[in-house]
């Protein structure tokens, strides 16, 4: 179902210190294989097509989720991480966009498991539910339009290099204000904001971008939340800073508190606090727990991924892959459990 694209790395990059984060391969989806849940049915991918007159294509009137599933080789099991939480947020996004209630959270969870099982996915995977105004009209409105849901899934490993430490910049693009576009809803159109920031960052040689809010304090990454560690004190930005309240952000706070005895303060963070931090990390379904080691060409702390970040990353990945029974309730198994397992 996926076509690979290569991202060449230069010899120079390979030799430089500290190690440069490698850009992982993000697959392009082929329509020639696989299944899609599309408008109430599981159909072959090539049948899940939309008209060019679809409202959401013109006005960005859609919302989506990004969900990960982790393959546990030893247990021969695929675990979907925080499936219910993602579909609950999806329901909130849909409500904000005045979409019909449609399928329930339970139905969407069930159909996602079936989609993965029917495609026999036995590797780490990414699941993309999207809801969109499917009405074929140019009428500029959110209400009283037909809407639809589609879900597809494909094998995918890391979205960014999670071991080397990311080299990031503060973007010239400000985070879209919740008073302009509701950022609490994961709306498709608002991701132009994120794409502008990541393109700008990549063109200047950075791995990622950090948004400031309209009023100039730190908001989040282009597709992830941000945490700052200073003298053992952990902070992350507030919902009022126009963040998408990440499911991974919540999971990270839980792991930090429960397993590492570290409370997270949710507060406004100044741009220059970033330069002064001992550690910085991003959280998100895509980026998982990713260390940030440079901001605006300044080394963060030692310039290497920090100890709190890397311990948290390890604990998060153990939980996500089904290797930590204390977090079994985060996971939905895709394949029937073997007797006695």
Binding site for ligand PMP (CB under 6 A): 66, 194, 220, 223-225, 244, 246-249, 283-285
Q: Which residues pair with 332 in a beta bridge?
A: 80
The residue (of 129 and 306) whose beta carbon lies closer to ligand PMP is: 129
The residue (of 34 and 284) whose beta carbon lies closer to ligand PMP is: 284
d(CA 30, CA 32): 5
- Whose tokens are 């080789």? That residue is 73
Distance of closest approach, residue 47 Cβ to ligand PMP, in angstroms: 28
The residue (of 93 and 119) whose beta carbon lies closer to ligand PMP is: 93
The residue (of 56 and 289) whose beta carbon lies closer to ligand PMP is: 289
Distance of closest approach, residue 137 Cβ to ligand PMP, in angstroms: 28
The residue (of 206 and 316) whose beta carbon lies closer to ligand PMP is: 316
Distance of closest approach, residue 102 Cβ to ligand PMP, in angstroms: 20
Burial 280-291 (b: 16+ CB within 10 A, else e): bbbbbbbbbbbb
Distance of closest approach, residue 185 Cβ to ligand PMP, in angstroms: 11
Distance of closest approach, residue 139 Cβ to ligand PMP, in angstroms: 28
Q: Which residues pair with 153 in a beta bridge?
A: 127
Distance of closest approach, residue 114 Cβ to ligand PMP, in angstroms: 23
The residue (of 135 and 169) whose beta carbon lies closer to ligand PMP is: 169
Distance of closest approach, residue 291 Cβ to ligand PMP, in angstroms: 16
Residue closest to ligand PMP, measured at CB:
246
Sequence-distant (6+) residues with CB within 8 A of 79 are 69, 70, 72, 320, 321, 322, 331, 332, 333, 334
The residue (of 146 and 200) whose beta carbon lies closer to ligand PMP is: 200
């Amino acid at each position: 179902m996926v076509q690979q694209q290569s991202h060449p790395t230069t010899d120079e990059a390979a030799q430089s210190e500290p190690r440069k984060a490698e850009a992982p391969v993000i697959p392009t989806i082929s329509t020639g294989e696989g299944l899609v849940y599309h408008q109430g049915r599981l159909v072959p991918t090539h049948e899940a097509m939309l008209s060019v007159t679809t409202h959401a294509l013109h006005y960005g009137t859609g919302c989506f989720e990004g969900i990960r599933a982790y393959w546990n080789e030893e247990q021969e099991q695929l675990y979907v991480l925080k499936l219910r939480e993602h579909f609950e947020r999806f329901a909130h996004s849909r409500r904000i966009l005045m979409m019909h209630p449609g399928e329930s959270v339970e139905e969407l969870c069930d159909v996602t498991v079936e989609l993965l099982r029917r495609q026999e996915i036995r590797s780490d995977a990414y699941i993309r539910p999207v809801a969109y105004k499917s009405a074929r009209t140019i009428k500029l409105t959110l209400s009283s339009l037909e809407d639809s849901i589609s879900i597809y899934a494909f094998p995918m490993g890391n979205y960014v290099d999670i071991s080397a430490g990311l080299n990031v910049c503060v973007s010239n693009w400000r985070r879209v204000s919740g008073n302009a576009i509701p950022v609490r809803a994961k709306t498709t159109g608002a991701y132009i904001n994120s794409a502008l920031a990541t393109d700008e960052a990549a063109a200047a040689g950075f791995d990622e971008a950090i948004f400031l809010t309209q009023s100039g304090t730190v908001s989040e990454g282009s597709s992830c939340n941000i945490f700052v560690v200073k003298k053992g004190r952990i902070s992350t930005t507030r919902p009022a800073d126009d963040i998408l309240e990440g499911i991974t952000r919540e999971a990270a706070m839980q792991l930090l508190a429960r397993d590492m005895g570290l409370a997270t303060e949710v507060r406004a963070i100044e741009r220059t606090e970033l330069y002064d931090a001992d550690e910085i990390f991003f959280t998100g379904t895509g980026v998982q727990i990713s260390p940030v080691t440079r901001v605006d060409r300044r080394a963060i702390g030692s310039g290497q991924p920090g100890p709190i970040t890397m311990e948290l990353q390890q604990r998060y990945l153990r939980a996500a892959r089904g290797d930590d029974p204390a977090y079994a309730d985060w996971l939905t198994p895709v394949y029937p459990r073997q007797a006695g397992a």
